[in-house]
Amino acid sequence: PSSLTELDLRYNKIQDSGFLHLRGFLESPDCRLQTLRVDDLKSSVVSKKENVTQSKTCSSFTPEVNPERDGRSYRYKFSGPGVFQCSLTGLKFNITHAGEVKYRTLVWDPTLLESMNLQAGGPLFSIESPQSSISQLQLPHCQPERSSDSLSVLHITDDGASLIQPVEVTQTHVIVDVPHLSAFGIVSSIFQMFTTKVNGQALLFLDSMDNLHFIHVILLPSNVPKEEVKEFHSDSKFIKVPSQCVFYKDQTYSCHSDPEGFIIQPSKAEVSANYGPNYDTLFKMRLPSSTEEVTIIIKDEQGQDIWKYTLHKSEMKDHEQQNSSLHTEKLRRKRLAFIEKVSHPTLNTLLLKMCQCGVITSSEEENIRAENHRSERARLLWDTVTNKGASSILIEKLKDEDEFCFEYLMLNINQ
């Protein structure tokens, strides 16, 4: 491959033979040219030069985020042509003219993937553009460049699913032409899975209760939108730390602390390429809130570090202070939604489960049941549990018992 990135041919008289050589060079897949300066060339060469320049120039944008019953959607209006990257999802859009784009993540159908001998290699995106302003789509992948040639894109419509071969696979994205918009997601053959190395991200979330800190460690592919993980763990405080790491899918990893002695559960866990909708905690570490400093380490089966970060007490404390007002407002909205929507049967089950797991006492359960009105029982249960700092446990049990009520509650706090 040529390492040439800039070529200045101004003031040169290019003959036909030179034109053919230049055209062949520009159309070669090994061409790395970013800038071509000319006085006057045939349109096909100039067009190629424009394509090269456009593909290398990308502007970032932050879309409008709208909460929905089963997740969130993104919306943005482009004022003109260009290549634009979403700062929240990593998606890149090749835009031909002004128009609006709306997109969101969907849940992969494992039955469909299995029937086609495929595995997901990234989130599944539903994309709409009423003005048909997208010519190419660039989906972020998480594989090292040397193995990215195994990637393709699954295009899912009402008529079925079909594979689209990429126009190009860059170090970070899979580029495809857009036949028409619907659902798109990166996939690879299931026969690649035993060798799949993944660019990953290690994310930390914090809960505090009764002079204890609970640190949730989550390990995901790098192309999972971080904002959607934060949404899933909205009850916890996100700790912003360097997250980059590399891991192998379906291998076992362990979490450690320095100094040792803190409780970490489980001791080991298998890591999969998780693309939602649930982004569950992989490891949970418990430590006294007085802890000055702790180093969190993730190791592979050979005992080699794949990720490490030293967390200082000030980071946890400052994070709590910065988010206290937001946390209070979210709790207020959750309280109102819970009181409004939780049903009588669900409420009775939650009372029993809260007592069984020791969050409320038997006498507190009796006092709550003694209330005549459903809304009063719901209010008293919520306030009793929240005053003990255990609202996340109540919400977790609610999700198990009444998924519709849980989704309504999560939607309500983001409006």
Say yes or no to pLDDT of 305 above 70.
yes
Asked whether the predicted pLDDT for residue 49 surpasses 50, the reply is no
Q: What is the mean pLDDT of the chain?
A: 83
Are residues 140 and 73 part of one domain?
yes
**Based on the domain organization, do 227 and 171 belong to the same domain?**
no
Inside any domain, residue 223: yes
Instruction: Report the amino acid identity of residue 223.
Output: N
State which of 56, 78, 98 marks the end of a domain. Answer: 56
Number of domains in the chain: 4
DSSP 313-357: HHHHHHHHHHHHHHHHHHHHHHHHHHHHH--HHHHHHHHHHHHHT
Separation CA 233–CA 280 (nearest Å): 9
**Across 126-130, 242-246, 394-398, least confident range:** 394-398
Residue 297 has pLDDT above 60, yes or no: yes
| 79 and 172 co-located in one domain | yes
Has residue 166 been placed in a domain?
A: yes
- Residue 185 is part of which domain span? 59-195
What whole-number percentage of the chain has pLDDT above 70?
79
Residue 35 lies in a domain: yes
The larger pLDDT score, comparing residue 161 to residue 28, is at 161
How much is the pLDDT for 45? 39
**pTM given for the model:** 0.67
Beta bridge partner(s), residue 174 = 139, 169
> Could you say which of 162, 195, 228 is where a domain stops?
195
CATH number at residue 137: 2.60.220
| 285 and 406 assigned to the same domain | no
Which whole-number Å values give the CA distances from 112 to 17, 104, 106, 107, 161, in the listed order?
Answer: 52, 20, 14, 12, 9
The residue type of 260 is: E
Please indicate, yes or no, whether residues 75 and 188 belong to a single structural domain of this protein: yes
In a domain, 205, yes or no: yes
65 and 11 belong to one structural domain = no
Q: How far is CA 396 from the centre of its chain?
A: 21
Q: What is the mean pLDDT of residues 308-323?
A: 73
- What's the CATH number where 374 sits? 1.10.533.10
When pLDDT is cut at 50, 70 and 90, the band that residue 69 belongs to is low
Q: What is the pLDDT of residues 128-160, one digit of tens each?
A: 999 999 999 999 999 876 556 688 999 999 889
Question: Are 185 and 111 within one domain?
Answer: yes
234 pLDDT tier (thresholds 50, 70, 90): confident
Which helix (H) or strand (E) is 368 found in, with range? helix 362-369
- Residues 236 and 294 reside in one and the same domain: yes
